[in-house]
Structure 1
Amino acid sequence: MLNKTPKGSVRFEGVVKRFGEVTALKPLDLDIAPGTLVTLLGPSGCGKTTTLRLIAGLESATEGRILIGGHDVTHLSATYRKVSMVFQSYALFPHMTVIENVAYGLTVKRIPKAEAHARAEEGLEMVGLKGFGKRLPSELSGGQQQRVAVARAIVLEPEVLLLDEPLSNLDAKLRRHVREEIRQIQQRLGLTAVYVTHDQEEAMAVSDRIIVMKNAGIAQEGTPRDLYERPANEFIADFIGDANLLPCEVSGHGDSGTTIRLGGESLTLPNAEAPLGSAALVLRPHQVRISRVPAPGSFAAEVSYAAYLGNQIQYTLTSALGEVFAVVPPGAEPFAVGDSVFLGFPSAEVQLVPVVATDQRMTT
């Protein structure tokens, strides 16, 4: 019977990874609590896969300590770490049946064949593939093959389950379905899981916490809601969900909120904070209000792009604030390219982020 109690924690203490002269990971401190799913999110080359491979023991730390379940595993090879990894390529043996693939790791550990087979059957049942054991991987869909890879990992009863871009080979609709299954399995078994992706929607859908990485370090970490509603900087605001970043000037603070100068107008934002000086207004596309008549705090604009997508209408508006991307429900009043309109937004819902000097900006 598979163990269904929470597994180990993961802790990095000042971990650095260098490849020759290249620093792939700057001094990194992180804590992953038992039984949680934490996603490492970021653009290519940010250090997320290196971090995952350090947990797995597939890379060795140049500096610092790595602890799993409270035990120092810094100098232990992958063989002696209680972790399992699910790869984006599935890595199934094409000549083996599904049940043989799932049981493979157990047989390598010299688990008796009958027990290995029973645990493999239970693993398949957990991922919704009961009765598929006699098939070959080539007889399964991409989503089914990925679930076989997950079953193969969880039957080893790891302290930590690692998932490296596990959905990148699936189409968009199947990705949504499989990510829900992975999340349900993780929660049902109480697994500690570390998930790597560059897809922010995927990260928000499955994670207890997200660690956003850039330039070999952590840009910000928190719950999906924290990162979306309280971004620490322009990069996070733009990376976690679509955002219009509108240059503004913070001119004062008072009991009623933060006063800014935006497009020549003075506005008070009751729930936004930023230091005096240059800042960016974080305006999400769904927050944009479009009308044919002006309202207090609105700005003249022209519709330069319009697209009906069934569940939403997308617009690009040209204004004194720059280009503004907006998303409205399909039942809203339609506008055509070339229409003169006014754009506004609920001042209580928007956020501000400080503007980083050009020479201090992180690069992709």
Structure 2
Amino acid sequence: MKGSVRFENVTKRFGEVVALKPLSLDIAPGTLCTLLGPSGCGKTTTLRLIAGLESASEGRILIGGQDVTHLSATYRRVSMVFQSYALFPHMTVLENVGYGLAVKGTPKAEVRDRAEAGLDLVGLKGFGARLPSELSGGQQQRVAVARAIVLEPEVLLLDEPLSNLDAKLRRHVREEIRQIQQRLGLTAVYVTHDQEEAMAVSDRIIVMKNAEIAQEGTPEDLYDRPASAFIADFIGDANVIPVEVAKAGPEAEIRLLDRTYALPLAWPATGPAQLVLRPHQLRLSRDAGDGMLPAEVSYAAWLGNSVQYTLTTPAGSLFAIASPQSEGFRKGDSLHVAFRATDARLVPAASGR
């Protein structure tokens, strides 16, 4: 199981503060797994525990089947790409990439060859003589990736690697990181708070909340089958509407205001729940129809490839996204909102309701 990562009931405490509740996870070799969540959820602590930069208070950590719980970072075959890049400004790009190899006592000729191969791999062949200050932000990030992979780690760790880049460059560099990871068959653990970034690069996503796992699965699993309103809202935009389940079983029947909807999905019990609808799943029309909700446009924004609407309805404020080729609406327009039963998802009611 070279490159696998396993946590067995791992806990991390800083004094009286529990930074990570008992956590168990498995990351398969050759996959890119993203730890996703808001600030303070425990994702960076988890990454630092894998790296050996923090020690577990309880539990076991295994990398490649080897128990590394009490091994320092020096003796773990992992490499880390930091948010700040951490490049040495006085060293050339080639020296930066080969630094880890040189520290390990690798012969100079081999350091140079492997560093040049690393730069070639990230598309920076011929940049070795430059200083980091002579590179763009995206190029500096690729140097940091090259420096990590030339060490031939079992696991590559990436801590918010794109947060210092602008949106367009971020998209470009994340594609490059994903292609390198797949080409080399590396096991990678990626930390971010950006759900779009996580969806774009991951084989598997672990969403964390309050120092524990809220849900894990493929990007498609989390988007199409959220286990809670938190997941639905965190993985993409979502409209979360309180409803009453009138009929449970293999097919559910819900009441929303004075309307009843039959949904082709299983639900365990009657009572309060929440209906999840993605913005692009709302259908907008000037004409009324069965089951449609009346609405008024409170905000409209044309974004080129889409039109976004905020709608005031009896069920609360809804967010809708439509094609720019669809019928246009302006602020103050009255319309009606519908959705397909096959698009609807249910999640448990909010606590305290």
User: Once the 2 structures are TM-superposed, how far is the Cα of residue 44 of structure 1 from its aligned partner?
Assistant: 0.2
Q: What's the counterpart of residue 119 of structure 1?
A: 114
2:208 to 209, 213, 216: 213
Could you say if the C-alpha distance between residues 154 and 201 of structure 1 is closer, same or farther in structure 2, counting changes exceeding 3 Å?
same
User: Once the 2 structures are TM-superposed, how far is the Cα of residue 271 of structure 1 from its aligned partner?
Assistant: 3.2
Whether the 8 Å contact between 1:88 and 1:169 is mirrored in structure 2 is: yes
Aligned-partner Cα distance in 2 for 1:307–1:266: 32
Q: What's the counterpart of residue 294 of structure 2?
A: 300
Q: What's the counterpart of residue 23 of structure 1?
A: 18
Q: What's the counterpart of residue 328 of structure 2?
A: 334
User: Once the 2 structures are TM-superposed, how far is the Cα of residue 263 of structure 1 from its aligned partner?
Assistant: 1.9
Aligned-partner Cα distance in 1 for 2:84–2:2: 25
Q: What's the counterpart of residue 201 of structure 1?
A: 196
Question: Letter of the aligned partner of 1:344 in structure 2?
Answer: A
2:304 to 310, 320, 330: 310
Q: What's the counterpart of residue 358 of structure 1?
A: 352
Runs of 4+ in 1 over 6 A off after TM superposition: none
CA offset digits 1:300-336 (Å, max 9, x no partner) = 1111111111110011111111000000000000111
User: Once the 2 structures are TM-superposed, how far is the Cα of residue 253 of structure 1 from its aligned partner?
Assistant: 3.2
Aligned-partner Cα distance in 2 for 1:149–1:325: 39
Q: Does 1:134 align with 2:129?
A: yes
What are structure 1's unaligned runs of at least 5 residues? Answer: 1-5, 360-364
Aligned-partner Cα distance in 1 for 2:87–2:271: 56
Aligned-partner Cα distance in 1 for 2:267–2:311: 26
Whether the 8 Å contact between 1:38 and 1:193 is mirrored in structure 2 is: yes
Question: Letter of the aligned partner of 2:74 in structure 1?
Answer: T
Question: Letter of the aligned partner of 1:153 in structure 2?
Answer: A
Whether the 8 Å contact between 2:292 and 2:338 is mirrored in structure 1 is: yes
Q: What's the counterpart of residue 10 of structure 1?
A: 5
Whether the 8 Å contact between 2:248 and 2:268 is mirrored in structure 1 is: no
Alignment of 1:245-284 (within 5 A): 245-253=240-248, 257-271=251-265, 273=267, 275-284=269-278
Q: What's the counterpart of residue 52 of structure 1?
A: 47
Aligned-partner Cα distance in 1 for 2:182–2:253: 44
Q: What's the counterpart of residue 95 of structure 1?
A: 90
Whether the 8 Å contact between 2:249 and 2:266 is mirrored in structure 1 is: no
Whether the 8 Å contact between 2:119 and 2:143 is mirrored in structure 1 is: yes
Aligned-partner Cα distance in 2 for 1:275–1:111: 64
Whether the 8 Å contact between 1:271 and 1:349 is mirrored in structure 2 is: no
Question: Letter of the aligned partner of 1:304 in structure 2?
Answer: S
User: Once the 2 structures are TM-superposed, how far is the Cα of residue 264 of structure 1 from its aligned partner?
Assistant: 1.5
CA RMSD, aligned part only? 1.1
Q: What's the counterpart of residue 63 of structure 1?
A: 58
SS of residue paired to 1:202: helix
Whether the 8 Å contact between 1:275 and 1:354 is mirrored in structure 2 is: no
The normalised TM-score by structure 1 is: 0.95
What is the total number of aligned residue pairs between the two structures?
Answer: 353
Whether the 8 Å contact between 2:35 and 2:207 is mirrored in structure 1 is: yes
Question: Letter of the aligned partner of 1:231 in structure 2?
Answer: P
Aligned-partner Cα distance in 2 for 1:353–1:223: 18
User: Once the 2 structures are TM-superposed, how far is the Cα of residue 78 of structure 1 from its aligned partner?
Assistant: 0.3
Q: What's the counterpart of residue 3 of structure 1?
A: none
SS of residue paired to 2:326: coil
CA offset digits 1:174-215 (Å, max 9, x no partner) = 000000000000000000000000000000000000000000
Aligned-partner Cα distance in 2 for 1:349–1:342: 17
What are structure 2's unaligned runs of at least 5 residues? Answer: none
User: Once the 2 structures are TM-superposed, how far is the Cα of residue 357 of structure 1 from its aligned partner?
Assistant: 1.9
Aligned-partner Cα distance in 2 for 1:186–1:103: 19
SS of residue paired to 1:348: helix
2:315 to 321, 324, 333: 321
The normalised TM-score by structure 2 is: 0.98
Whether the 8 Å contact between 1:274 and 1:352 is mirrored in structure 2 is: no
Aligned-partner Cα distance in 1 for 2:319–2:350: 23
